[in-house]
Amino acid sequence: MNEWQPLISLLVLLSAATVLGAVAELLRQHAIVGYLVAGMLVGPNVFRLVPSHESVKVIAELGVALLLFSIGLEFSLRRLIRLGPVALIGGIGQVLITFGAAAWVSSALGVDTRAALAIGAMVALSSTATVLRLLTDRAALDTQYGRNAVGVLLLQDLAVVPAMLLMSALHGDANPTAIAASLGWTVLYATGMVAAFYVLFNVITPYVLRLAPMVRNRDLPILLGVVMALGSAVVAHRIDVSPAIGAFLAGILLAASPFATQIRADVAPLRTLLVTLFFASVGMVGDPKWISDHWLYVLAVVILLVAGKALIITVIMRVLRQSWYAAFATGFCLAQVGEFSFVLAATAWSYKTVDGDTYNLVVSATIATLFITPYLVTLGPRAARWMAAKRGGKSFELHDSASEVPNDRVIIIGFGPAGQRVAEALVGDYRDRITIIDTNPSHAVVARNYNLPIQVGDATRPEVLQHAGVRRATAVIITLPVIESARQACALVRSLNPHAQLLVRSRYHMWRWELHLAGAETVVDEEEQVGLRLASEARKVLRRA
């Protein structure tokens, strides 16, 4: 029975998260709220159906790594570099100022210096998993405030190692020389990891994905995508770097590959499963009885933290010449305390740097800020728009959606002989508007010969179509020969973009109405076209006879 206990724990946690996530959606709340409540109820502090947080902790952390890997696939290295000043100055400034302010306030309230410094480190970081999940759900990663939030969160994740080293330094038996040496080795290992990832994901992986077995068997690329995502997280963990950073870096290095879209779609189901487990596992740490007994303290700390972090981030963004709207919206998005504070708090408690009440207060306040984060991310931009207008600045962003996919796209799905003939006819007038989707890597080579952008992916997956810009498409041309794939792609395109002109190839006349019912406006069937061509040729022959 003990051998099955971890699986039973996962099943109970997922079941509770599914039910309460659905209840939250019925009540028009974000599902994350339901996941957190589920973890709190089935965890060791209430019904004890899942006896230990540790039994699901590692698997839950892999969910965050997969989330960061997928987001990394959205960010090319060029786009990441554009975040430069905001990420570097904003991230470092926010961590240091929040750390200093929290330590100073704690000290002023009578907390001893070591505990005050530990508290400052605990509350300095925001929640990468929660914020990025919410920004992704709202399609806000490409807004100005979304890009600001991503940059700051990435720098915060890099601060995890110094924060852990600080906890060791605050321990009475810490050796400063050993701490400095540990930091140096971590930097050296991280540099080697970056170099190894670059070679692996830019040289070896594209070659492997073009091999015949990978093309013939759709399961193999899926397995490879999962191995790359989880493997990069494990490698980062082994060298004492945040697993999320390792996975994000792997995603960025793969982003320039034509296979990035399909890899993202392939890992999406597993990512959803593990990220849900992550939020539920966070809820397990909470103790409702302790919170109810000390609710005034928890409420006061939550208000102080959210208001203080939002103010600090807003000021930093304004110093970095961001608009009032972008500054306020970024502040709202990052006003919570991150899940890594649980690790720091547990470490500080085990070292006796903080007492039990301080530990419970930090953990409870952190969970409370995570509960309200969906509302901060959802309502924050609206409040920011109003506040920006009051400040006399722009109440909107002229280029709030900076997607690299422009409007008025012409998307060709399937790049075999039929798709290539379509591209040849359109490339002269519409080269800058064409995007191609195909599952065959060899067709990517042909597309590059035309100097056309291609995404290697399955057009029956919504993630692939969305990344190609189907919502912005004026026309979508489907040349897939298999009726099932053509019908699925047709219905999916129509659901994502009801206004696009949808032109579809049909191999046989009897399939015309199936494709029309799936949403196609124009269906060109091969049998009819062959008949018309034969009739035309027959007339030419007869005229010459």
- pLDDT value at residue 76: 67
CATH of the domain at 531: 3.40.50.720
Residues β-bridged to residue 455: 437
pLDDT tens-place string over residues 311-354: 999 999 999 989 888 999 999 999 999 988 888 888 889 888 99
End of a domain among 344, 359, 390? 390
Asked if residue 495 and residue 441 are part of one domain, the reply reads yes
Residue 380 has pLDDT above 50, yes or no: yes
- CA 310 – CA 160 distance, rounded (Å): 21
Amino acid of residue 228 = M
Q: How, if at all, do strands 434-438 and 473-478 pair? A: unpaired
Q: Average pLDDT for residues 115-128, to the nearest whole number?
A: 94
Residue 180 has pLDDT above 80, yes or no: no
Residue 403 — pLDDT band, cuts 50, 70, 90? very low
Same domain, 369 and 437: no
Q: Is residue 233 a part of any domain in this protein? A: yes
Within 285-355, residue ranges assigned H as helices are 288-293, 295-319, 324-333, 340-350
In a domain, 352, yes or no: yes
Q: Rounded to an integer, what distance in angstroms lies between the CA atom of residue 291 and that of residue 297? A: 9
Are 251 and 312 found together in one domain? yes
Mean of pLDDT values over 29-45: 91
What backbone torsions phi and psi does residue 141 show, to the nearest 5 degrees? -60, -30
Q: What is the 3-state secondary structure (H, E, C) of 64-113?
A: HHHHHHHHHHHCCHHHHHHCHHHHHHHHHHHHHHHHHHHHHHHHHCCCCH
Residue 69: name the closest of 206, 225, 220, 239 by CA: 225
Shared domain check, 71 and 188: yes
Domain co-membership, 309 together with 443: no
Are 380 and 510 found together in one domain?
A: no
The single-letter DSSP state of residue 416 is S
pTM here is: 0.78
Among 68-77, 131-140, 400-409, name the most confident range. 131-140
CA separation for the pair 326, 147 (Å, rounded):
10
203 assigned to some structural domain: yes
Is a pLDDT exceeding 60 seen at residue 398?
A: no
**Which pLDDT tens digit goes with each residue over 203-229?**
898 888 888 888 778 788 878 888 888
Residue 403 is assigned to a structural domain of this protein: no
Measured on CA atoms in the order 321, 323, 326, 327, is the torsion positive or negative? positive
Q: Is residue 401 part of a domain?
A: no
- Over the stretch 68-88, which tens digit does the pLDDT of each residue have? 888 788 766 776 677 778 888
| Residues 463, 320 share a domain | no
Q: 405 exposed, middle or buried (CB, 10 Å; 0-12, 13-18, 19+)?
A: middle
Q: Based on the fold, state whether residues 383 and 471 are members of the same structural domain.
A: no
Confidence of residue 404 (pLDDT cuts 50, 70, 90): very low
- Give the contacts of 509 (CB within 8 A, at least 6 positions apart): 525, 527, 528
Residues 458 and 490 in one domain: yes
Q: Please, what is the average pLDDT of the chain?
A: 86
Give the residue numbers spanning the domain of 54. 2-390
The torsion of the CA quartet 467, 470, 471, 473, rounded to 10 degrees, works out to 130
Quick check: 353 and 120 in contact, CB under 8 A?
no
Would you state the pLDDT for residue 295?
A: 96
Within-domain flag for 373: yes
Q: CB under 8 Å, gap of 24 or more: what pairs does 304-307 form?
A: 304/105, 305/102, 305/123, 305/335, 305/336, 305/337, 305/365, 305/369, 306/335, 306/336, 306/369, 306/372, 306/376, 307/335
Q: Do residue 338 and residue 189 come from a single domain?
A: yes
- Are both 6 and 150 inside the same structural domain? yes
Q: Report whether 115 contacts 345 (CB < 8 A).
A: no
The Cα–Cα gap between 403 and 425 comes to: 27
Contacts of 61 (CB under 8 A, 6+ apart): 233, 243, 278
- For residue 174, pLDDT beyond 60: no
Question: 97-101, 146-150, 385-389, 452-456: lowest mean pLDDT where?
Answer: 385-389
Specify if 400 maps to a domain: no
Q: How far apart are CA 264 and CA 287, in angstroms?
A: 36
Whether 279 and 166 share a structural domain:
yes
Residue 354 maps to a domain: yes
Residue 388, token pair as written in the block? 């920006």
Q: Indicate the number of domains in the chain.
A: 2
Domain boundary among 322, 355, 390: 390
